[in-house]
Structure 1
Amino acid sequence: MPTVEAVRVDPDDAPEARGRPVLAAGHRVILALAPAVLYLAVRELGLLALRLMAARWDKDVSKALTSWDGQWFLGIAEGGYADVPTWLVDAFGRRTAETPLAFFPGYPTLVRWVDGLPGVPAVGAAFAVSLVSGVVCAYGLARLGSRVSGGSQRAGLVLVVLFAASPMAVALSMAYSEATFCALAAWSLVGVVERRWLLAGVCCAAAGLVRPTAAALVVAVCAAAAVAVWRRRDDWRAWVGGLVAPLGLLGYLAYVAVRTGRWDGWFAVQRHGWDSRFDGGAATARFALAILGEPRSVLELATVWFLVAALALVVLSARRGLEWPLVVYGVGVLAMDLGSNGLMNSKARLLLPAFTLLVPVAVALARRRPGTAVAVLVGASVFSAWFGAYAITAWQYAI
């Protein structure tokens, strides 16, 4: 009787085994693209809502996205501080040679560089800088969410969506400096958490050229670097990172001081042009009590509750053991927002950089069932889309 020899099959030669590298590569690609895709999807939802709302109020979408501060940034990008269009004035309808100095140079400088490319108009350059900055920020937040205590890859992606779906995230799609600042702040804080002090210091210094909110970032980075040096946990890089971090902010404040001839030049420009100063929160408290007692608009009432929610997130962050530099940064941003007597309608927008306060929420949602997390994130995205569209179309005043 003939014998049949058994044929040994190598497991690696099986069809399903040969498909594993392809699946693994596909999985890596999806994970690599996920932060950008999620961020852009949420922001596109916001822009879709804006187009619908703009049609309802007979407004031009592009003009809505370049309103108010956006006009100042475009003017500085096109003509520099010395040649801003004369029709741009401060809150009192005045204009001096120093008035444009209220706006930090980082964002308009980037816009000018992109505007210098062939065939790129200034408005398109402004939108491109905000778009790319938002995507860069998304990757920073994804990294941050995976590196914090209790964090994970999923928590990082949830954090990206929560940030893109912040109530006033429409500013991330405008000709405003928020997206650029948040990108630099996110990567600076990644450097702090990972103890990559040169990354932390350089990004912090760059952020100091974009927004005054960098003061909160400088405090967090310098404090973390100082503690690392004191505990002798790191080498010379902690020294360098801590020394470099404040250079951007201090450099621009010094430049304005020279231009105005007074040491507090930038603060003087803010006071004279916009009556903006730090009053310890007195104006914010009066505004909140007045609105809660007699609501005048959806935006103002929502702004008060956003501030209350931010305070609650500070408590949650402290109780959940969020890394203390991230808490310091978030508290600093909130303190600057609450403590200023500036335009009350802008306070919700000024909360955008306080994204570290969303980290405990992201970590908690990442541990929930996928269906629960998706439902919460979709709900937040829809609300953000509507509220942002309302804020720059139906609402008639600056944000």
Structure 2
Amino acid sequence: MTELADAGHPSSRTDVPRDVRTTGRRRVVTAVLAYAGVRALGLAVLAVWSATRGTSPHTLLAARWDSLWYTRVAEGWYGYQVRLPEGGVHSDLAFFPLLPALERGLAQLSPLSAPDAGLLVSAVASPATAWALYLIGERLHGPRAGVCLAVLWGAVPVGVVQSMAYSESLFTALAAWALWAALTGRWVWAGTLAALSGLTRPVGAAVVAALWCAALRELWRRRRGPGARMALGLLLAPAGWFGFVAWVGVRTGSVTGYLDVQGQWGNGFDGGWAFACFVWENLTGTFVGGLALLAGVALVLWLYALCVRQRQPDALLVYAGIVVALALCAKGYFGSKPRLLLPAFPLLLPLAAALSRCRTGRAALALGALAAASAVYGAWWLNGSGPP
């Protein structure tokens, strides 16, 4: 990742003094360490909270919900399914293969179990994400914004998911580095990372669309065709996502095989109708719950509007827009909406830019308060309903 980290950054030029390059590296380290501190606080609060309830934080992080499905794929590859009492079927084909493949490989090469290998993947991928977010924030708004962006991502309410044996951290790391590579003109890197993100989560399609839109804008600006490296990157980008979806289609014997599998899980895209009905039910039932849902949706839309007003690069706007649309307009598993929004880190850029203009003490106080709130909420959430 060294080439990626240096791409488009002043430290990548040989005429930059050594002390400037050193300062740049120190800022990256500062951002990653600050992010790690936020996550460490979250895990510490989770450990204490779980101890008071007699639950295992390790089990909560590595062996519940989707983590169990990733473990089953890692240990036996694909073919496992559960038949529900009402006749439906939940198949492991709904889960993309990169995380379980890494779990399987690490378990075979080390003493780690597959669940612990999943925790290790997240433990590496989440600070890698913070690194990429720092670089993106620094490029757009300066070093302080880069640090704030990394910390804000760690301090979102469901930030504890970043420490779970889930695919969110791995996906966001790949997506963030792919977008950073596109912003700095590293198209082969961007395409390769986009292909890997497409092997990680269905929303990998958002990374592909972001890269293609960014490339089209660049070609329009230059009034010429793509170079060889750009063309190769753009061809590589959809390979992961399309390859897995096509494989599921072949395996199920249907062109719409992956959509059918998701439909059996109760997932699908209905333009947000089911979610709107869910919000309305809460408004007419537990009014406070419905109001909180409306406030959450309004906040997400407001942040995206700020991103547009901020004139973020096309790649970030397209990526965040698709992630938000897929999260809010999908039916089923309404409690997972905050988790599905976790990769939409460009939404945090306006807040990071605003905090970067504050005095250091005020910014640190605000970020500390958010980190503490995230830690408490994450511990309560995992010991309660948790992610579906």
TM-score by length of 1: 0.86
Out of 54, 76, 101, the residue aligned to residue 93 of structure 2 is 101
The verdict on how the C-alpha distance between 1:319 and 1:69 changes in structure 2, with shifts beyond 3 A counting, is: same
Q: How does 1:1-399 map to 2 (within 5 A)?
A: 30-66=26-62, 67-82=64-79, 84=80, 89=82, 99-148=91-140, 151-232=141-222, 235-272=227-264, 274-295=265-286, 302=292, 304-395=294-385, 398-399=387-388
Paired residue secondary structure (2:311) = coil
- Conserved in 1, the CA contact under 8 Å of 2:167 and 2:201? yes
* Residues 270 and 276, structure 1, Cα contact 8 Å, conserved in 2: yes
Query: Could you tell me the percent identity over the aligned residues?
Result: 38
C-alpha separation between the residues in 2 aligned to 1:275 and 1:111?
27
Aligned-pair CA distance for 1:304:
4.6
Partner deviation per Cα, 1:183-206 (whole Å, 9 max, x = no partner): 000001101211221121111111
Distance 2:96 2:86 in 1: 20
**SS of residue in 1 equivalent to 2:104:** helix
CA distance in 2, matches of 1:297, 1:256: 42
Counterpart contact for 2:275–2:330, Cα < 8 Å = yes
Distance in 2 separating the partners of 1:189 and 1:339: 24
Unaligned runs of 5+ in 1: 1-20
2:82 partner SS: coil
SS, match of residue 347 in structure 1: helix
Q: Deviations over 1:365-385 (max 9, x none)?
A: 111111121111111111111
**Residues 229 and 238, structure 1, Cα contact 8 Å, conserved in 2:** no
Using the TM superposition, give the Cα deviation of residue 230 of structure 1 relative to its aligned residue in structure 2, in angstroms.
3.5
SS in 2 for 1:192: helix
Offset of 1:289 from its aligned partner? 2.5
Q: 1:69 to 1:313 in 2, by over 3 A?
A: same
Give 1:164 deviation, angstroms: 0.6
In structure 2, distance between residues paired with 1:72 and 1:199: 30
TM-superposed deviation, 1:26: 7.7
Three-state SS of the structure 2 residue aligned to 1:81 is coil
Cα distance in 2, alignment partners of residues 276 and 313 from structure 1: 26
Where does residue 12 of structure 1 map in the other structure?
none
Instruction: Rate the CA distance shift 1:369–1:293 in 2: closer, same or farther, 3 A.
Output: farther
The two structures, once aligned, show a CA RMSD in angstroms of 2.4
Name the CA shift for 1:237/1:230 in 2 (closer, same or farther; >3 Å): farther
What TM-score do the two structures reach when normalised by structure 2?
Answer: 0.88
Larger Rg: 1
Distance (whole Å) between structure 2 residues aligned to residue 118 and residue 131 of structure 1: 16
The 3 A distance-change label for structure 1 pair 147 and 337 is same
For residue 262 of structure 1, report the CA deviation from its aligned partner. 0.4
Q: Shift in Å at residue 251 of structure 1?
A: 0.5
* Alignment CA distance shift 1:117-1:338 (3 Å): same
How far does residue 339 in structure 1 lie from its aligned partner after superposition? 0.8
Amino acid at match of 2:275: T
Tell me which residue corresponds to 1:13. Answer: none
**Aligned residue type for 1:155:** A
Q: Tell me which residue corresponds to 2:6.
A: none
Tell me if the contact between 1:205 and 1:245 (Cα under 8 Å) persists in the aligned partners.
yes
Aligned equivalents of 2:243 and 2:21: distance in 1?
46
Say if 1:382 and 1:216 are closer, same or farther in 2 by CA, change over 3 A.
Answer: same
Q: Which deviates the most, 367-376 or 21-30?
A: 21-30
